[in-house]
Every structure is written in structure tokens, then in C-alpha cells.
Structure 1
Amino acid sequence: MKHPQNELPDRKTERANDVFARFPFLADRITTAKSRIELRSETAKQQLLLPGLQNFMRAMPNHIARSSLFAPVARGRKRIHKDTVLVSRADAVIKFWGEQLDESQADVWMQAMHEASRQPLGEAVVIKRAAFLKSIGRQTGNYEYKWLNRTMQALSFAMLVIEVTKDGEPKLAVGRTRALHMIDGFDFDDEEEVYTLRIDPRWHAMFANREFALIDWKKRLRFGIRQDMAKALQRLVATSNEQIQRYAIDWLKDKLEYTGRMRDFLDAVERAMRELERLEIIAGSRVELSTKGKMQAVWTKL
């Protein structure tokens, strides 16, 4: 014999069906309300996804790519920043704490963000160590494994405060009350040889409104040895849609953290531009005087 309570769900269902039969428009309204809730939930989830990171491209927020956060600095010459205002464009003030980051570490960060783009920000990002190294064009071996772990540590420690203005008015502020890290932290499983990364959801704001540079990854992996300056310029080229691009040599020298003589820097810039031309990233590159008599690098973006 059934207990009377076991019949309650069936009675509720019968009553609901009776109500819907008498008032069919209610069923439509409930269905519509459920659809709206599901849509809002999906929209909220999509807002935490990083946009534009196709398999053949990698991306970096324009304000980061234009800054001196990543630079073609030599090993052993890195300095530790503390509340340092990075070289950037006039509409952005970026303060940085941490070890100076180089172009190989830029590769790690872009690949990590690419891996993170497959799920909403804030969720665990699991990457296999060997496969990750291959994806950035590195060998797999003890030295490379140690290098990757040091880089993960540097990116976890790297801390930013970013303030962006537009027409003199505040547009974006990230990190003032809680610092923004390049990666929010990581765990490494020795047995599985996998990293589990965490990416701060606030990075989504830095990629919003399509304000990011798209990097052709296949071409980036084809750069010759000792061409870190060319890799840095590739990121800079990608921050602008302008076909003819001009950058003051003095500004470039500061942005690229070059501390040597100006004549040596000019030679290095010309070598880097030739490498960009070889890979068909730019054309017609040259160093010339501006209308104000200042040296500038000029090229056509392809």
C-alpha cells in the first residue's frame, strides 16, 4: 500500500497540468522565463571568456603589448621592479612589481592565456608540461622544465596596477585595491607532470572591446635565434590597425629596455625590422627623421 505522501508529486503534477490546460498562456510564459534565465546565465559565462584567441593566433592586451612589461633583455641583466611606472602610451599608467620579463616569458604568458580561453576565467587551467613547451617552440628536457617552472614563478609574482584614461576621463582601473597578477597562481603535479593555473577573471576587462593585439603564432615560432627584439616589435606592430606605423626611436629604446649606446640600438632595430620583413609582417622599414627632426622607425604593416 502506498503511503499518501508518495502521491503528492503526482497530485501536484496533475494540478499543474490542469492549470496549464485551463490557462495555456501560463506555460508559454514559464518557458519564456526559463529561457531568459538560461540566456542570462550563458551570457554571464561568455563575459568571462577571453575573446578572439583562435588556434593559429595568440593575443595580448594592447596596453600590455605597448608597454615595457615584456622586453628583449639579456639573461643576467634583469632588474627587479618595485612600484615602477612602465614605458607605455600616454593614455595608460602601468605600475609593476616583479622581475623584468623577457620575450620568452611573453610566449609562456600568451600560451597560458590561450589555454585559459577554453573555459571561463577563474576556472582551473590544466596544462601538460611537455606539450606546453612544444607549443611555444621549446625542447623538452630537464633544463627546459626548470626554466618553465622559474617562469611560472616569475609570472605568479609579477604584479600590476593599470589605469587607463580616454579624453582625460577614467576608462579602466585594475589592481588599485587588489593587485593584478600575470597568473593568479599555479600548482605542479610531479607524477602527472601537469600544471594547474589560475587566471584572474579581471583580465577579461583588459581584452574587452577588442583592445588586444593578435599575434600570428606560426610566424612567431619561425623567428631566428637572438631575434627577441623582432619578437617585441611583432607585438607592437599588432597593436595598431594603421598601415603606415611610426615610432620615435627614443621611445622605442626606452620601451625595449635597451641600455646600450644609441648607435648600437639603431643597428639592432634595423636587424629586427629586416627579420620582420623576412617573415612578411612588415614591409618598407626604415629609420628616418620626422617632420620635427626626430629619428623614427617607419614601416608598412602587412
Structure 2
Amino acid sequence: MRSEALQNWLNQFTSRSEILKNIRDLEKNNEELFEELLREGLTYEEVKSRYTDFSYYKGLKIPEGARALRAVEVYVGIMDFSDPSVMRLPGWHDGNTPSANLIDTSALFGALSKRIERPFLANKTIYSRSNCLIRYTGEALYQLDWDVLHALICFCRGQFNKRFEVRQIDILKMIGLSKAGYNYDLLKDSIVRLRKTDIYIESSSKSPAMSFSIGEVKSLPKGKRRRIDTFSLILEATILDNNVLALTLDARLKFLFGNNEYGLIDWEKRNKLKNNDIAKKIQCLISGQKTNMQRHRMEKLYQLMGLTSSFKEFTRLLKHACEVLLAAGVIKAYAIPAAPRGAGQDRIITIWTTEIPTPEELQAVGRVAAYACGE
């Protein structure tokens, strides 16, 4: 979400050409606002490519400051001055939903275990990739909650921080649930959970312009525990007449999809996965990677799911989830290697997402305990 300070700076000018004339002064006199404008611009692929792809010219390295200035100039040429909270992503249409890599490579939305009650997490550090810190307070979130949140993102059409209305039955239909009474209860409970979430996210990068944090860390008086003042995924939710919901999402959700760090999830295929949370979590994970042949450490998948079952049981559940993904057309093939004695958690599962594996790729996998290939 664009800060008031940056919006006020932009409001001084009546045209893009005036802004361009003053960009160098902004860079020199207010580095914080300049970096905010750059971060906003880097959510657009054409701006990001200008910033990252032109590191050298005629064999000479271009300084980061010059690349940043050029990227901001490109952004000024395309930016939307009136509605900075709207998220527009290439490839996003009515039949799919964007899926943020930063979230999908974390255990924030895990896999539901039917053997335990949904726990309440208090300022818990969530398993995530090495350059990301996520702290969470609230009831544990699972794939139903992921579905509900992303359905709301679709219904608001990326217009975060703006109130919108949607029928509950339309949400249920998008996420593949019937209009049975208990599904309305599941939906309402999920929205309450998402409304009450408190999350702090910090993502670091070699480039300061691509680093960001959502939420604020504040210290309490001496002797008190440090706490996190955070953002909730849903800012406001009320039930109107005829089972219509009025909702507002936090505009800072847009940061999660920046730097082209997102995949696209087909709703029809996802709904074929039914209530298999492990399959749904894997679908999210693989969607953000462009390669056909993907390799994932099974121990990492186990952590991402947040399950409490034994690793042996998880391996069985993982195999079943891969079969579900295969039947739904989400993947083309998978291979789980045989476990050397004493090294079960060190195995790497291989998944092919768009094309069936070649003989050379299968040979590279080695001896397998489970393998299946679709058409």
C-alpha cells in the first residue's frame, strides 16, 4: 500500500513529465520515498526486467543506483496514480488465482491433521525459506483457509483496502464446496480465523529495493516480552442480508506477490483435489516454479505441512497425495526414491509438472520406491 507521504509527493505534480523531472531530486533528498516508489514499481514485470536484466553494458557493470533510477523512470511511465492498491498480475484471469511463493514456501497454511484439534499459535516463528521471517498469532491455518482467502482475492479483483460484497454461496462454489449448511459454518469460521490473524513478515534480499517487511516490531517496557504489531489478512468482515458478506482485505497483501514471485492455481484442478491438504499444499509449492522437473526434499515438505505424524506415515500420505495430483492433471509424473537404511528423511521427491519424464531424467533419479506417470 502506498504511503501517505509518497502519495502527497506525487500529488504535487500534474503530469508524468513533471514527476520525471523531479525523480533525481527525490532520490537525492528522500531515499526512503524513492525506495518505496521503486518497490512499488518492481511489482510490474517490465520494471523489474529493467532493474535486474541490465546489470552490464558493453562489459561494464552498471551501478545499482543507476539501474534503480532507470527502473523508477520506466515505472512512472506506466504507473496508476489514482489506485495504487490494485494488484494486476500477468496470467491472472477468472479461472485461476495467484499464489504467492513467499507464503507457499512456508508452513503458514499447512495440512490439516484429523487426529489433533486445531491449535492456537502465539507469536510462533513459522517454518519458511532462509531469507524470510514469519511470526504468527492465531488459530492454525490449513488449506481450507488458503482457499477462502484466495477466493476473496479473486472476488475483490485485486482491489485491496476497498470494501466489496460477495454472496457466501459464490465463495463456496469457487472453492468446490456444496451449499450444505455445515459448509456455510466452515466458511464463516474460516473468515473469522483470517480476520483474527496477526502476522509479521520480513523478507530480505541482496537488493535493498526488493526487501520488505509487513507489520511492525515494537518493544514493551523493560521486563515485558517483545510483541509484534501486525496486519490481519482480512481487515473487516460483516454479514449483510441474504447471506451476503461485506469484506475488506489488507492492501499490504500486494507485497506478497511482488518481484514476480507468484504462481497461478487453476481452480477447477484444485477443486478436484477435494480435501487432500497435502496434495493442495504441493500444488501451491510447485506452481511458483517454472521448471518441468522439480526436486524437493521430503524433510522440507514434512516441515511445510506442519504434520505431527511419523515420517513413515507421512511418506505413505505423500505417495497418495501425488496420485491425487496425477489424477487431477496437476502433475504429469512423480518419483519417490527408495530409502537407504537410516536415511529416510534425506530423500528427494521428483515431480514433473508439464511434460512426462525423459529416460535420462528417470535414470538420474535412481532406484525408486514409488513412481507413476500420466499421459
Normalised by the length of structure 2, the TM-score is 0.65
1:200-252, CA deviations, whole angstroms, 9 ceiling, x for partnerless residues? 1111121222212211111011124x422111110011121122211111111
Q: Which residue of 2 aligns with 1:70?
A: 109
Matched, 1:296 2:348: yes
Q: Which residue of 2 aligns with 1:87?
A: 127
Name which of structure 1's ranges 177-186 and 154-163 shifts more when overlaid on structure 2.
Answer: 177-186
The question of whether the paired residues in 2 share the 8 Å contact of 1:270 and 1:286 is answered with no
Q: 1:40 to 1:166 in 2, by over 3 A?
A: closer
In angstroms, what is the RMSD of aligned CA positions?
2.6
Aligned length, in residue pairs: 266
Q: Which residue of 1 aligns with 2:303?
A: 254
Paired with 2:207 and 2:257, the residues of 1 have a C-alpha distance of 21
Matched, 1:274 2:311: no
Paired with 1:134 and 1:269, the residues of 2 have a C-alpha distance of 27
Paired with 2:77 and 2:167, the residues of 1 have a C-alpha distance of 33
CA positional deviation for 1:40: 8.9
The question of whether the paired residues in 2 share the 8 Å contact of 1:51 and 1:207 is answered with no
The question of whether the paired residues in 2 share the 8 Å contact of 1:284 and 1:300 is answered with yes
Match of 1:179 among 230, 235, 244: 230
1:127-147, CA deviations, whole angstroms, 9 ceiling, x for partnerless residues? 111222112111113222222
Structure 1 spans left out of the alignment, 5+ residues = 1-32
The question of whether the paired residues in 1 share the 8 Å contact of 2:113 and 2:307 is answered with no
Aligned sequence identity (%): 19
The question of whether the paired residues in 2 share the 8 Å contact of 1:121 and 1:199 is answered with yes
Matched, 1:47 2:114: no
Q: Which residue of 2 aligns with 1:218?
A: 268
The question of whether the paired residues in 1 share the 8 Å contact of 2:99 and 2:287 is answered with no
Normalised by the length of structure 1, the TM-score is 0.80
Q: Which residue of 1 aligns with 2:252?
A: 202
Code of the residue aligned with 2:326 in structure 1: it is E
- Classify the secondary structure of the residue corresponding to 1:64: helix
Matched, 1:164 2:187: no
Q: 1:286 to 1:45 in 2, by over 3 A?
A: farther
Paired with 1:204 and 1:171, the residues of 2 have a C-alpha distance of 14
Paired with 1:283 and 1:40, the residues of 2 have a C-alpha distance of 42
Which gives a bigger RCO, structure 1 or 2 (Cα 8 Å, sep 6+)? 1
Q: Which residue of 2 aligns with 1:25?
A: none
- Classify the secondary structure of the residue corresponding to 1:150: helix
Code of the residue aligned with 1:274 in structure 2: it is E
Q: Which residue of 2 aligns with 1:122?
A: 161
- Classify the secondary structure of the residue corresponding to 1:271: helix
Paired with 2:207 and 2:84, the residues of 1 have a C-alpha distance of 27
CA positional deviation for 1:45: 3.8
Q: 1:243 to 1:42 in 2, by over 3 A?
A: closer
CA positional deviation for 1:97: 0.7
Larger Rg: 1
Paired with 1:80 and 1:300, the residues of 2 have a C-alpha distance of 36
- Classify the secondary structure of the residue corresponding to 1:109: helix
Structure 2 spans left out of the alignment, 5+ residues = 1-13, 19-75, 218-228, 355-375
